[in-house]
Chain A
Amino acid sequence: MTSVAQTAQSPASQTLDVRRIREAFPLLARTIGGKPLVYLDNAATTQKPQPVLDTLSRYYAAENANIHRGVYQLSQNATQAYEGARAKVAAFLNAAEPAEIIFTRNATEGINLVAQTFGRWQVGEGDDVVISTMEHHSNIVPWQMLCEEKGARLRVVPITDAGELMIDELASMLGPRTKLVSIVHMSNSLGTINPVRQVVELAHAQNIPVLIDGSQAAYHMAVDVQAIGCDFYVVTGHKLYGPTGIGALYGQRRWLEAMPPYQGGGDMISSVTFEHTTYNKVPHKFEAGTPHIAGAIGLGAAVDFIQGVGFEAIADHERRLLDYATDALLGVPGLRLIGTARKKASILSFVLDGVHAHDIGTIVDTEGVAIRTGHHCTQPVMDRFGVPATARASLAMYNTVEEIDQLVATLTKVRGIFG
């Protein structure tokens, strides 16, 4: 654990010391075209703190061995570190036990795993899978593929003009043919925080399992999968200040035990003959082949870092940033926010009258400001709001009000060019 996290954790510092936090992220010190980097694309990926980088480099320099098979000490240690990371992620999401965490490549793979195992097992012809308009493509396409294969129906819960889930519509869609509800916890393009507990209550009242896509939520707020009550929850490591190529699927043990395996191969088996294969226990049943060992251990270091800072401090800081940024952006002439839910996170999507989002992105980049422009892998959201694209500033624990001022100043430059 770094001194940064320890400082932030101590009771004496309730508020987050942004300057010290920033020092832990080496990339934030770099410049772009001679200008200090203002990194506001955290919904796409977050930067990595030094403890994560050190963990990755130490693993490869001193600890690398394959896991679960070697009798030698190096392999034993690597196995302990990998399984230790699973326990850390389980505690981070408050899963009942580490075995309910399956390491995946990312959230997308977590959703595909559920679609290909639970989905192919449970969803049949004439059944329904329920999602919402604000889903990322990764929580649309796997279900479309499944429904096409099975002759099932994909039903889509609409959203309001503010970008909020129409919960009554969701309730009215649920029925005996509904085999799964899969809803995003926090929208990546609108910032909306969905009432996932209420969604689970509505679905469970009719014995319908629920998957929650926590890609965005998990780095903004404390997630408690048992309190939410969901059956599945997916996260991705690279948005949790961790490495790319590693993510996690939480699944309730009763489902994981009953579900067929995902991919076949080594590590997911107990015994193999040409006549018959016995599958390994949960969670290994779902982790075929050598996994991303370094990535998992790096993700463990990342959740340690987040918990060292603490979600109370993170949420408090990000709330103040969101309020400040909302006021500041609304002061830009001709700017309209897309996504104004009452409960939302520090994600600000906007359009500027007479200027396409891509032109905004290019111009602010020349001042070192990195924002996302485009459809954010949520084309149905763009269609819902009748815009081809938005510009999006997404804020994380290390962002500052000065960086928001810099964004607003560059938007003024955009206005200067486009009139």
Chain B
Amino acid sequence: MSDLRELYQEVILDHNRSPRNFGPLEDADLQADGHNPLCGDRLSIAVKVDDGVVTDVRFQGSGCAISQASASLMTEGIKGKTLVEARALFDRFHRLVTDQTAPADDPALGKLNVFAGVRDYPARVKCAILAWHTLRAAVDDSHEAVSTE
């Protein structure tokens, strides 16, 4: 088991305490709800898109520190990006938190690299990935709530 500080980095604790882009978003173009039944984490993500570019994104909900911080940092990470770029970030993030051989400092992920420690805690991958799955559901314009189960 690796050091806990690798998992609970100060950036993560900070985003858990003070999540960015938290709250409702008026006139959202895309929206989806996510649920992690195992932990009871619930997220709702709303996105504004202009010409394929994410102009605003906000989230609401409750959950563990990893899921809250992941949602908060994701909103920062995708604002200003195109939907295609956001999808590519999802794939990179997924590798970061699940693949032991992936680099822990992917330049494309920037601040999101703080979640590299999650790969050593398989039970917590679902927490880190919930926001991203929910975003993907919103982008795919699925009206079904996504579940990590």
Contacts and interface: CB of A to CB of B under 8 A. Distances in A.
A162 B123 CA distance: 31
A419 B39 CA distance: 22
A359 interface: yes
B40 A374 contact: yes
25 contacts: A33-B1, A355-B65, A356-B64, A356-B65, A357-B39, A358-B39, A358-B41, A359-B8, A359-B64, A359-B65, A362-B4, A362-B124, A366-B1, A373-B39, A374-B39, A382-B40, A388-B39, A388-B62, A388-B63, A389-B40, A417-B4, A417-B8, A417-B13, A418-B13, A419-B13
Contacts of A373: 39
A185 interface: no
Interface in B1-57: 1, 4, 7-8, 13, 38-42
Contacts of A418: 13, 65
Contacts of B63: 356, 358, 388
Chain A CB within 10 Å, residue with most, of B62, B65, B66, B124: B65
Contact of B40 (A355, A365, A388, A419): A388
Interface of B: 1, 4, 7-8, 13, 38-42, 62-66, 121, 123-124, 127
Nearest to A34: B1
A375 interface: yes
- Chain B interface mostly: mixed
Contacts of A417: 4, 8, 13
B123 A362 contact: yes
A358 B42 contact: no
Contacts of B66: 358-359
Given A355-B65, A362-B7, 13 more contacts: A356-B63, A356-B64, A356-B65, A358-B39, A359-B8, A359-B65, A362-B4, A366-B1, A366-B4, A373-B39, A388-B39, A417-B4, A418-B13
Given A358-B124, A362-B121, A389 B8 contact: no
Nearest to B36: A358
A363 interface: yes
B64 A375 contact: no
